[in-house]
Chains A and B, each alone.
Chain A
């Protein structure tokens, strides 16, 4: 019953460093998403992948890149981390992007950029 698995769970970066957040789902879902959650704000969509081989920008894509490696995996890359990217990052997946389908979330990656 793994569902959506994110790695790492915690990470501290120095400004300018790069890193990749990994996400994998075992539910055979077509669609995957990356969100960030900041204190006092709602979750905001960074990027999504409606199906394997496609990716699209969400609400706050600047400073991030994504790769849909295969149907199971969707990674988020920070090329040059900035303190403004300190946040909790959530990966999610759903059967499709049809708006009435349920999204399942991972446990989150808490990222601090110093």
Chain B
């Protein structure tokens, strides 16, 4: 069964600090992996999309990495801001399927 596991479930950090969120998946055959940011009460917004051949992709202060061999991805947030407080969702797509597998998300709270 295709699964996406995210850790930690929740995280609290101080403004200005860095943090790293993890995503492990057991999806086959792998097509791509995306990270979404979901603010409270809003729909998810895409941060990055990575295919099998990409191992790093950045979007401003967000940097995603992908290790297709170990089936792991991470999202690194640099110099966190209060506006980074949100849920971060890892989504993996399976080759040949229109149904992606969503992780449960990591809830990040940034305190001043």
Q: Are A and B genuine complex partners?
A: yes
Chain A positions near chain B (C-beta within 8 angstroms): 4, 40-45, 48, 50, 56, 58-59, 90, 92, 97, 99-100, 102-108
CB pair A99 B104 closer than 8 Å: no
B22-50 CB contacts (< 8 Å) to partner A: 31-32, 34, 41-46, 49
Are B43 and A92 in touch, CB under 8 angstroms?
Answer: yes
Partner-A contacts on B (CB < 8 A):
4, 31-32, 34, 41-46, 49, 51, 89, 93, 95, 98-105
Please report the C-alpha to C-alpha distance between residue A105 and residue B45 in the assembled complex, in whole angstroms. Answer: 7
7 A-B pairs besides A99-B31, A100-B32 with CB distance below 8 A are A43-B44, A92-B43, A99-B95, A99-B100, A102-B49, A104-B46, A108-B42
Distance from A8 Cβ to chain B, minimum over Cβ atoms (Å): 14
Q: How far is A42 from B106 in the complex, measured between Cα atoms in Å?
A: 11
Interface of A is mostly: loop
A59 vs B97: C-alpha distance when bound (angstroms): 11
Name the distance in Å between A39's Cβ and chain B's nearest Cβ.
Answer: 10
CB<8 Å pairs between A and B, sample of 18: A4-B43, A40-B104, A42-B103, A42-B105, A43-B44, A45-B98, A45-B100, A50-B98, A58-B98, A92-B43, A99-B31, A100-B49, A102-B34, A102-B49, A106-B43, A107-B41, A107-B42, A108-B43
**Residues of B close to A104: CB separation below 8 A:** 46
- Would B99 and A59 count as touching, CB distance under 8 A? yes
